[in-house]
């Protein structure tokens, strides 16, 4: 039921955000030219556009029903008001705009409904992380950047916005309506630190080599392989027409037997339920998509958790940052990461109730790759299972790495790997070998990417 409600909220948001475009058009049509002629500097113009009396008058006109659609219009109204207040805090940092129509076009383009995809939102009602609040703030940050305000000025705007949005939201609601709204959404409310962590995990879904780039994700496929093969090298073959055909056939058979990586992860943890010593390893060479897969997995789980407050709460951590956090203590490096970055003590009563999936990336980038150092890193990761060994035995740890030395093979064997029977009925320990794209996926992805780039260039 919660998930259906969240989906309903998400679908209503583009309609709500359309009011932003209408507000700017109306405000500009009535007083825009005079405003631009009488006001000095970009910040002065923006303060006038986001004047609270104008915003309040507009929203009073479009609806008297504050609480419909989970009060989406109130969140929008409060966000726009806070934009004005936060801009006013910038001490009149000014840039002249010669073309007044450019400002209106910028407003409409960056805050208009066409920029908002309801499938890409995380529905959290914590004020700072509410999807409408986030959308308005992030689009304003982009706009200030386009207007060439100094990065420190934009950071100052963001700090002021984040600090004051909750108070502005309460003021916009009014005490009585705010209390009613909080009662209505209580099943969706998360703690501030929890909201920030979920938001950060969800944002990992973005794929691109430069800012603003959004590449399509393709499902990652994998297979089980014997641990003894993890450091093996394929035999180099002389290419002939005949063995080219044989290789093509082998390649097709290989891809036909691959399975979605997430499916293999589920198979492992369903096989070994409630054992806190389990660690599952996902191994692949550079460029196969280990990091992208783990981030996408974390993002999917974050959205599912936000929608239902059930299931696994994802924690993604990259071991290239291992040295930035203490690896000592009861909960190891993951515990220190959560405490340092989010102020979360994961063994506190409220947090240890959750089920966690720890997605730990890049063991091969954690530091020296000697056996002693790798043992120390893995032991520090395992310490997170000390959250509550009596009642929380279903937490999961997945570690990714490139193959690098016998130290890795030792770790794969030491943490209860899945076993499969060979032709002689011997149990052979296995690891997940990440394959990446299938050939047909790559062709589809390439066609989609080229078409998207061509479309973008035409616009």
Q: Where exactly are the structural domains of the chain?
A: 2-189, 221-454
Burial of 386 (0-12, 13-18, 19+ CB in 10 A): middle
Which helix (H) or strand (E) element contains residue 93? Answer: none
CB 432 within 8 A of CB 220: no
- Please give the structure tokens belonging to residue 212: 């603003």
Q: 3-class SS at 400? A: strand
pLDDT reported for residue 236: 45
pLDDT of residue 234: 46
Kindly tell me the sign of the dihedral angle through the C-alpha atoms of 134, 139, 141, 142.
positive
| pLDDT at 451 (0 to 100) | 55
Helices (H) and strands (E) in the chain, counts: 17, 8
Say how many residues make up the chain.
Answer: 459
Tokens of 61: 């006109």
- Block mean pLDDT (10 aa), the chain, length 459: 66 74 68 53 69 85 73 91 89 55 66 62 86 88 82 91 96 91 83 92 82 74 93 55 73 85 95 81 93 96 89 96 93 96 93 94 94 95 91 91 92 91 91 86 61 52
Give this prediction's pTM. 0.84
Query: Do residues 128 and 119 lie in contact, with contact meaning Cβ atoms separated by under 8 Å?
Result: no
Round to whole Å and give the CA distance between 170 and 132: 15
Of 222, 223, 221, 225, nearest in space to 430 by CA: 225
The reported pLDDT for the residue numbered 448 is 55
CA distances from 215 to 89, 330, 448 (A): 37, 40, 9
Phi then psi dihedrals of residue 281, to 5 deg = -105, 135
Residue entry with tokens 């259906």: 4
Q: Tell me, what DSSP letter sits at residue 188?
A: G
- In a 13 Å sphere around the CA of 135, the CA atoms on its Cβ side amount to 30
CB neighbours (10 Å) of residue 374? 23
């Amino acid at each position: 039921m919660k998930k259906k409600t969240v989906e309903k909220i998400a679908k209503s948001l583009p309609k709500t955000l359309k009011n932003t475009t209408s507000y700017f058009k109306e405000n500009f049509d009535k007083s825009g030219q005079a405003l631009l002629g009488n006001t000095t500097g970009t910040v002065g113009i923006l303060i006038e556009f986001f004047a609270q009396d104008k915003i309040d008058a507009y929203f009073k006109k479009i609806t008297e029903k504050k609480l419909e659609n989970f009060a989406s219009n109130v969140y929008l109204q409060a966000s726009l008001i806070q934009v004005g207040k936060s801009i006013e805090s910038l001490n009149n940092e000014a840039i002249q705009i010669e073309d007044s129509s450019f400002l209106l076009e910028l407003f409409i383009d960056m805050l208009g409904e066409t920029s908002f995809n309801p499938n890409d939102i995380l529905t959290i009602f914590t004020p700072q992380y509410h999807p409408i609040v986030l959308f308005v703030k992030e689009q304003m940050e982009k706009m200030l950047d386009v207007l060439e305000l100094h990065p420190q000025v934009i950071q100052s705007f963001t700090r002021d916005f984040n600090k004051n949005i909750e108070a502005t939201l309460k003021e916009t609601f009014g005490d009585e309506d705010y209390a009613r709204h909080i009662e209505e959404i209580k099943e969706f409310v998360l703690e501030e630190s929890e909201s920030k962590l979920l938001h950060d995990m969800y944002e990992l879904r973005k794929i691109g080599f430069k800012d603003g780039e959004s590449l399509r994700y393709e499902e990652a496929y994998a297979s089980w392989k014997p641990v003894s093969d993890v450091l093996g090298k394929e035999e180099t073959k002389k290419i002939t027409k005949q063995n080219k055909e044989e290789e093509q056939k082998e390649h097709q058979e290989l891809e036909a037997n691959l399975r979605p990586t997430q499916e293999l992860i589920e198979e492992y943890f369903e096989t070994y339920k409630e054992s806190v010593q389990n660690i599952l390893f996902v191994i692949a060479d550079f460029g196969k998509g280990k990091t992208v897969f783990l981030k996408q997995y974390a993002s999917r789980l974050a959205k599912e958790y936000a929608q239902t407050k059930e299931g696994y709460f994802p924690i993604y951590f990259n071991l290239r940052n291992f040295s930035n956090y203490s690896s000592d203590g009861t909960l190891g490096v993951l515990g220190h990461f959560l405490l340092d970055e989010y102020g979360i003590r994961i063994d506190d009563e409220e947090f240890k109730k959750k089920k966690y999936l720890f997605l730990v990336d890049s063991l091969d980038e954690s530091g020296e790759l000697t056996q002693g150092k790798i043992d120390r890193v893995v032991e520090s990761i395992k310490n997170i299972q000390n959250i509550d060994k009596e009642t929380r035995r279903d937490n999961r740890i997945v570690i990714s790495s490139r193959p690098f030395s016998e130290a890795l093979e030792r770790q794969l064997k030491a943490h209860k790997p899945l076993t499969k029977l060979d032709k002689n009925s011997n149990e052979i320990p296995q690891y997940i070998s990440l394959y990446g794209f299938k050939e047909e996926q790559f062709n589809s992805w390439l066609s989609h990417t080229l078409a998207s780039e061509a479309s973008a260039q035409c616009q």
